[in-house]
Structure 1
Amino acid sequence: MKQELAVRNLIASDDAAAFFNAWAIDEERHTDGFIRILELVADGSEPDLRARLETRSHDFGPVFEHLKDEFSLMVMIAFDEMCTCRAYAAEKPFYDALGNNTFHHWLREVIADEAVHSMNAVNLIRARYHDRISQVGKIIDNLIRAATTLRYSGTFVLDYFGEVYSKELLAESRLAVMRNIAKPVIG
């Protein structure tokens, strides 16, 4: 995703570039964990799973209409990371049922990472785009409407599938982001 955003020139500030550098490192670590889980539950091999990831197509067309500039990108990331944070939390019973305490601890770290990513995006919005905060709710509402019809496209955003991504989860995630954005800036 980071590469796609650079090609489309959506990263306009050093703050956003730093955010995406840190985000990409965390996402790679998450991918490593998911590969381990797939090895365990689906009897796959790491080389095969990595090869499948490499050949997977990444189609940003379905989400690009929601990315106008760095501000809309950061709103999307803040919302998306909050959604995945809550979705992973809802899936704890699955990970616990794997019977390996390592995955339970790994999932806790992923949930924490997703929450931090959302809050970091919120903080960037608050610091750089305080004059546009009134637009956040409308952008998230558009993302929620779009999420119901988007197909998985390997973009790392709005790739929602499974029962856990309910209307309630999306609404709760919207509310959490809006609350975080509305907090007073301490400086």
Structure 2
Amino acid sequence: MNYKKTAIGLKTYDWSSVELLNDLSLDCITGCKEKIKNREKHLWHDMSSEFDSKHFLTYLLKRTDLQLSDEFLEFVCLWHLDEQNHYRGLRKINSVLYGQSEASIDDTIRSRTPDFESIAPFLIDEFSILLSIAFDEITSTRAYKQDFSLFDSLGPHCLSTWIRNAARDEAAHYGNAIKLLKLNHSSRFEEAKCLLDSIVLFETSQAFTYRNTFIFDHDTDDFSTALLNHSRATILEVLGRSL
């Protein structure tokens, strides 16, 4: 089921990772053990990043210098609920595939601290934050789609459903961010190219590393330079239609 909230029509989908994956167990998994082992680092990274939406939301709400619109606050609250749902799903998946309890995963994930210092220049105001989120979410959508075949190969249909639901959510987040950019920030669209160029340059630099911030987490080989540039080009094309 999908539904829209308030007059601005933000899109979200009502589903539960816990309910969907309730019966998932190692006995159900029929996929290639070597392939599963090779994806352990990537699935842990995805799970960690989803949890870190909590860090990002806290960071934004503690920023006394930001003037955030009511529409933006509605957007990030809905977005955060989705990302925590994804975390719970990936926590279950990692637990089943790699034999670690969900409680111990929680302990490890919660022990980390975020560092926003290096990405602060991309998060100056609502416009730059929305643009950064749009870039992150469209990239996540495409990265999750890259995993469709892996999840399909694991056996249980619930995993195929889960990865597609997660990708659909990320696409909705991207669409919602673009909606708010068009609604409140169209006068600044000419600034988008410079900011997106800077983001791609930052994420492809030798020094780039993910610091538990949720956003700008593209430091595994799932996120090629071509993928990042594709995201950049898509956003510029979409915004360009409104100029």
Scaled by the length of structure 1, the TM-score of the pair is 0.93
Instruction: Decide which structure has greater helix share.
Output: 1
Superposition pairs of residues 157-172 of structure 1, within 5 angstroms: 157-172=215-230
Q: Which of the numbers 69, 79, 90 marks the counterpart of 2:125?
A: 69
1:139 aligned residue:
195
In the alignment, the residues of structure 1 paired with residue 115 and residue 242 of structure 2 have an alpha-carbon distance, to the nearest angstrom, of 37
In the alignment, the residues of structure 2 paired with residue 184 and residue 66 of structure 1 have an alpha-carbon distance, to the nearest angstrom, of 22
C-alpha contact (below 8 Å) 1:92/1:107 kept by paired residues: yes
Q: 1:183: Cα distance to partner?
A: 3.8
In the alignment, the residues of structure 1 paired with residue 232 and residue 192 of structure 2 have an alpha-carbon distance, to the nearest angstrom, of 10
Q: 1:171: Cα distance to partner?
A: 1.1
In the alignment, the residues of structure 1 paired with residue 236 and residue 160 of structure 2 have an alpha-carbon distance, to the nearest angstrom, of 29
RMSD over aligned Cα atoms: 1.5
2:38 aligned residue:
none
Q: 1:49: Cα distance to partner?
A: 0.7
Does 1:181 pair with 2:239? yes
1:40 aligned residue:
96
Q: 1:163: Cα distance to partner?
A: 1.8
Aligned CA distance change for structure 1 residues 97 and 162 (closer, same or farther; 3 Å): farther
2:58 aligned residue:
3
User: Which one has a bigger Cα radius of gyration?
Assistant: 2
In the alignment, the residues of structure 2 paired with residue 42 and residue 61 of structure 1 have an alpha-carbon distance, to the nearest angstrom, of 33
Q: 1:6: Cα distance to partner?
A: 1.2
Deviation string for 1:98-123 (max 9, x for gaps)? 22211111110111111110111111
Residue type at the aligned position of 1:160: H
Percent identity of equivalent pairs: 29
Q: Which of the numbers 76, 79, 84 marks the counterpart of 2:135?
A: 79
C-alpha contact (below 8 Å) 1:35/1:46 kept by paired residues: yes
2:69 aligned residue:
13
In the alignment, the residues of structure 2 paired with residue 144 and residue 52 of structure 1 have an alpha-carbon distance, to the nearest angstrom, of 30
Q: How many residues align?
A: 185
In the alignment, the residues of structure 1 paired with residue 145 and residue 127 of structure 2 have an alpha-carbon distance, to the nearest angstrom, of 27
In the alignment, the residues of structure 2 paired with residue 182 and residue 151 of structure 1 have an alpha-carbon distance, to the nearest angstrom, of 31
Q: 1:92: Cα distance to partner?
A: 1.7
Scaled by the length of structure 2, the TM-score of the pair is 0.72
C-alpha contact (below 8 Å) 2:57/2:80 kept by paired residues: yes
Q: 1:184: Cα distance to partner?
A: 4.6
Q: 1:150: Cα distance to partner?
A: 2.3
Q: 1:160: Cα distance to partner?
A: 1.1
C-alpha contact (below 8 Å) 1:119/1:180 kept by paired residues: no
- Structure 1 stretches lacking a partner, 5+ long: none
In the alignment, the residues of structure 2 paired with residue 158 and residue 133 of structure 1 have an alpha-carbon distance, to the nearest angstrom, of 21
Residue type at the aligned position of 2:113: S
C-alpha contact (below 8 Å) 1:11/1:17 kept by paired residues: no
